[in-house]
Structure 1
């Protein structure tokens, strides 16, 4: 979002912004219930919609943040796999599934399948290919 767009919006709509701020101040100070926060959300949403910020732009920002967060988590999981591979234990279950665990990483999968489920500190990081370098090294070190 461009700062110039916001400056222009404020210059053109300063009266609407002041009225909205006064309404917010009155609502927050007078009402003492959950209804207060519902009204605050409605006023803020109305200002955002009125400002021209589209839901698509908000969605794009949320998508960008979630994508970068997942990439950071995946990178951390790969680094932990490399660091904890020697501490990992490999358990083969009777149903041809296996579990590899270390202090922070858990990998579960099925013999002969290309995908394994990776969890970092109990939180799923998704399904990864066994051909991923970090996963492959983790599995080989744990099996040995």
Structure 2
């Protein structure tokens, strides 16, 4: 969002914004029930709609931030896999499933599956397709466990 657009909007609509803020303060100070919060949300929502920000734009921003965050976490987890491969421990659970634990990572999967569930620093980051990096991490964990 461009700050110049916001400045221009504020210059053109300062009176409407000032009236909305005064009404908002009156509502918040006078009413002591759930109604005040409903009215506050309606006033703020009205200002957002009036300013030209649509729910679609807000949704797009949220989606973009979410995608960028997931991509960053995946990249960080992949880098951590390469760094912690020597410390990873492979555990076969006996029912066809396995788990691999490293200081910051945990992988859970089943033999023959092309997906693993990844936990990064205690937070589940979903099921990932097994790629070359993950396959190498699994093989390193197996070899670490076999040599000790």
Q: What TM-score do the two structures reach when normalised by structure 2?
A: 0.85
Give, in angstroms, the shift of residue 18 of structure 1.
0.7
Partner of residue 119, structure 1: 119
Aligned residues: 143
Partner of residue 25, structure 1: 25
Partner of residue 71, structure 1: 71
Structure 1 residue runs without a partner (length 5+): none
Residues 40-69 of structure 1 deviation map (CA, whole Å, 9 limit, x = unaligned): 222111100111111111011101111111
Change (3 A) 1:12 1:128: same
Superposed, 1:78-89 pairs within 5 Å as 78-89=78-89
Determine whether 1:13 maps to 2:35.
no
RMSD: 1.8
Partner of residue 37, structure 2: 37
Superposed, 1:83-102 pairs within 5 Å as 83-102=83-102
Q: Distance in 1 between matches of 2:68 and 2:33?
A: 37
Q: Distance in 2 between matches of 1:64 and 1:89?
A: 36
Q: Distance in 1 between matches of 2:104 and 2:32?
A: 44
Q: Distance in 2 between matches of 1:50 and 1:132?
A: 51
Larger displacement relative to structure 2 (2-11 or 86-95): 2-11
Determine whether 1:142 maps to 2:141.
yes
Give, in angstroms, the shift of residue 33 of structure 1.
4.6
SS, match of residue 44 in structure 2: helix
Q: Distance in 2 between matches of 1:11 and 1:101?
A: 57
Q: Distance in 2 between matches of 1:118 and 1:37?
A: 40
Q: Distance in 2 between matches of 1:83 and 1:32?
A: 56
